[in-house]
Structure 1
Amino acid sequence: MQKSTGVVTPEFHTDNAKNYGFSSPIHVSSEIGKLRSVILKRPGREIENLTPDTMPRLLFDDIPYLPIAQKEHDYFAQTLRDNGAEVLYLENLAADALNEQPVKQEFVDRMVKESGFKDGLTYSALKEYLVGMEPLQMITTIMEGIRKSDIDLNYKDLRLLSEDADYPFLMDPMPNLYFTRDPAASIGDGLSINHMTFAARRRESLFMEYIIKHNPRFADQGVNVWRDRNHTTRIEGGDELVLSDHVMAIGISQRTSADALEDIARNLFTNSNYDTVVGIKIPHNHAMMHLDTVFTMINYNQFTVHPQIMNGGKIDMWVLHPSKDGQITSEHRTDLLEVLKEVLHQSELDLIPTGNSDPIFAPREQWNDGSNTLAIAPGEVVTYDRNYVSNEMLREHGILVHEVLSSELSRGRGGPRCMSMPIIREDLETK
């Protein structure tokens, strides 16, 4: 296996929230405010470390062709730049957080332990192997995965002989990392750093923990962590939608539990201006794994929605508010349209169905993330080009659509919103 010597990514300019008058380096008060700064992860050799046998373990149902996936991702990143967004790369931010040797050693220790080696010969060998690298090489090596053949095991670790003896990796690759939305999600002047559902993805949020604590752009800059990753209940960023500067929608899904929703609501109610969290229950399956795979906000009063979640216009929801005694009130509702009108103070809403509600087009384009639109300004979105029926519907409803290439990226079952973690959006004008 060829060893990593770093990562080649397009250049980004240095910018921060102070350019836009914000005190925190994270400022996201809506889904639709003009996008000014975003974190991406360019697909790397972790994609090539997928095999048919490891796909279920690593949560993939296909293997993207890496050279084309990278070209498509570069096209996506350039589309964001061309429309005024600063593009930051996760691997560079993480490397810049690990310049101090004690921090680097602590990070390696935690990453190796979370990869299943808490002590013993392999634990020591992995730590020695990684700590000797420069930070960027180390980060990309961890992301790509470490094969047993990468380290000269001149000993016999009994665990390697008895457990997964034929499995090629000591540390699993992280092919899902190009979906930067899920490990952490920006909310207001802070973020959640998430405990993710499946073991294949749980290590991913450790990068963001160290970025927030130790990268000079974020460390000691007043970033609120509304919920950290040190929990047993699960939440992922694809289920977190910032509807306004005081309203959140959170999916209760395959990847986010009701307990986690209540926890993050409690922290927001206590420590921020957020006073409303709408919990939306969606089917618990791989095709609809997150709320943003079936429902996204694209304008002040316009949303994409997958028709199969509507159930004749009814969907289970819970509207949470803080009470005067410091507790949380919860009201069960079923009319999505009415709830959205109420919390967003809109008299009319436009729910745009994926695939024009066609029984063939809708599920096909939802599978390819036709509902997973990324708003880069009010009424302006980035979508996959393959979802042409949904894209035409958006245009018919007055939305400006930027289509990006998608033949290989879409094989990971995530769209433009999944592939992006906005950290700065302009505030909305009052309407």
Structure 2
Amino acid sequence: MSLNINVTSEISKLNSVLLKRPGREVENLTPDTMHGLLFDDIPYLPIIQQEHDAFADVLKNNGAQVYYLEKLAAEAIEHSKNKEKIVQQFINESNIHEKTIADELTGYLFSMDTQSMVDKIMAGVRNDEVDIHSTSLAWSADHQKKSLFLMQPMPNLYYTRDPANILGSGISINNMTYTARKRESLFMEVIVKYHPDFKDSGLNIWRDRMVSTSIEGGDVLVLSDEVLAIGISQRTSGRAIEELAKTLFSSNSTFKKILAIEIPHVRAMMHLDTVFTMIDTDKFTIHPGIQSLDGKMSVYILQPGKAKDEIDVTHQTDLSAALKAALNLSEIALIPCGGGDAIAAPREQWNDGSNTLAIKPGVVVTYNRNYVSNELMREHGVKVLEIPSSELSRGRGGPRCMSMPLSRD
């Protein structure tokens, strides 16, 4: 049975969503490796799993069907009849090219059932797990000093928003910016290609992971069936946005306009959705730190040009005016993270106070720790569903980061 995959709104009722329950990959972080793997701290696995389960329960209790990345990946590999080829691709993309080592690792992974194998690839394979018999310099004492792992762990996988995103009736499978995350989108490629619920769904592939430019799902907001907002950020380039725009405008997509919003290229604001999200038809969260003191910022409006494959680009400095024009609204509310307070705003933004997940218009899931932002949203008539966040927040991503909507009303 194929899924009805379609997302033309940030805020309409969430029908189905893709999550990844944190696993052993987060325990395979060390103080020496966590920054290279894009973490600022090491989560405590039992508690981060409890908190993630609470998040999933909120979504289920509000009518969303929850799918898990690790389960879909294993099912897709089982259906593929190409298990060895897929495993070889993961090994190649882990920079293991010496045949003896690759063969030993393949044998080790094939000794497991498919689900255990997928979990192991995600968690990482340590050097001392595999009995390597090789005289190659690729397996010298030097190599073992450089890394504890043959295959590096993928602790960012529970942020399912970034490796791929559904845009209308299609999907962008993303080329991730940093090496630590590049293999993540391979799981989505395998799922879309081989899982029966996806391969027969009629899903358009707007963009695949083999392109040279980078775009990540946390930068892409589906404001309506005709309008996207995409962050020009630390992890999404202007060139990638133009490439996606040309594809969407020249295909059978419904999108006719893209607001490319420039944000600071810093760790604390890595994606647009860490500083700006849509929570109702006319309400948005925003971190004041992305605007100048007079409220100005760079917003580029991309629309189809007169000639084929041509894009018209105009520049504005008023985000509110750009949003009202694009969405045909007379008024909007930009709700400042932390109330705009000099201490509360950056503190709550660091803990993803602006990273809300709308599950229907005016109903959002947030972290409980961001109490200033949450109360301010309630004052604006928004229903706020809080989830525990002491460990989930250590990876610098919130409820929107942890979810990839597959279907909305």
Q: Same fold (TM over 0.5)?
A: yes
Secondary structure class of the residue paired with 2:389:
coil
Whole-Å Cα distance in 1 between the matches of residues 261 and 143 of structure 2? 40
CA distance in structure 1 between the aligned counterparts of 2:205 and 2:265, rounded to whole angstroms:
27
> Equivalents in 2 of 1:296, 1:202: separation in Å?
25
- Is 1:130 aligned to residue 109 of structure 2? yes
Q: Alignment partner of 1:59: what SS?
A: coil
Change (3 A) 1:194 1:360: same
Does residue 1:400 correspond to 2:379, yes or no? no
Give distance in 1, aligned partners of 2:36 and 2:316: 37
Distance 1:229 1:357 in 2: 38
Quote the residue 1:300 is aligned against. 281
Equivalent of residue 265 in structure 2, options 273, 281, 284: 284
Higher mean Cα deviation, 257-266 or 164-173?
164-173
Matched, 1:62 2:44: no
Q: Distance in 2 between matches of 1:188 and 1:325?
A: 24
1:205 aligns to what? 185
Give the Cα–Cα distance (whole angstroms) in 1 for the partners of residues 202 and 118 of structure 2.
26
Match of 2:95 in 1: 116
Deviations 1:309-335 (A, max 9, x none): 121211111100011211111001111
Letter in 2 for 1:206: L
1:76-87 aligned within 5 A: 76-87=55-66
Matched AA of 1:299: D
User: Which amino acid is the alignment partner of residue 72 of structure 1?
Assistant: E
Shift of 1:225: 1.1
Shift in Å, 1:193: 0.3
Between 1:341-350 and 1:146-155, the stretch displaced more is 146-155
Is the partner of 1:269 in helix, strand or coil?
helix
Report the Cα distance in structure 2 between the residues aligned to 1:164 and 1:303, rounded to whole angstroms.
49
- In structure 2, what is the equivalent of residue 345 of structure 1? 328
| Residues in 2 aligned to 1:387 and 1:118: alpha-carbon distance in whole angstroms | 46
Q: 1:104–1:131: 8 Å Cα contact kept in structure 2?
A: no
String of CA shifts for 1:199-236, please: whole Å, max 9, x gaps.
Answer: 00000000000101100001132101111000121110
Q: Number of paired residues?
A: 405
Paired residue for 1:157?
A: 136
- Aligned partner of 1:44 among 14, 20, 23: 23
**CA–CA distance in structure 1, aligned partners of residues 146 and 89 of structure 2:** 25
AA at the equivalent of 1:98: I
- Which residue of the partner structure matches residue 92 of structure 1? 71
Is the deviation greater in 305-314 or in 116-125?
A: 116-125
Deviation at 1:57, TM superposition (A): 1.2
Q: 2: CA distance between counterparts of 1:157 and 1:220?
A: 44
- For the pair 1:238 / 2:218, whether they are aligned, the reply is yes
- What is residue 316 of structure 2 aligned with on the other side? 333
Please say if residues 94 and 207 of structure 1, whose CA atoms lie closer than 8 Å, have aligned partners that are also in contact.
yes
CA distance in 2 between partners of 1:250 and 1:16 (Å): 29
Partner of 1:139: 118
1:374-423 deviations in Å (ceiling 9; x for gaps): 00000000000000000000000000000000000000000000000000
Are 1:319 and 2:301 matched, yes or no? yes
Partner Cα separation in structure 2 for residue 385 and residue 206 of structure 1:
33
| 8 Å CA contact 2:7, 2:167 repeated in 1 | yes
Shift of 1:16: 6.7
Instruction: State the identity %.
Output: 57
Corresponding position of 1:429: none
- Unmatched 5+ residue regions in structure 1? 1-14, 18-24, 427-431
Report the 3-state secondary structure (helix = DSSP H, G, I; strand = E; otherwise coil) of the residue aligned with 1:97. Answer: helix
- Choose the corresponding residue for 2:291, options 290, 305, 310: 310
2:154 to 174, 195, 206: 174
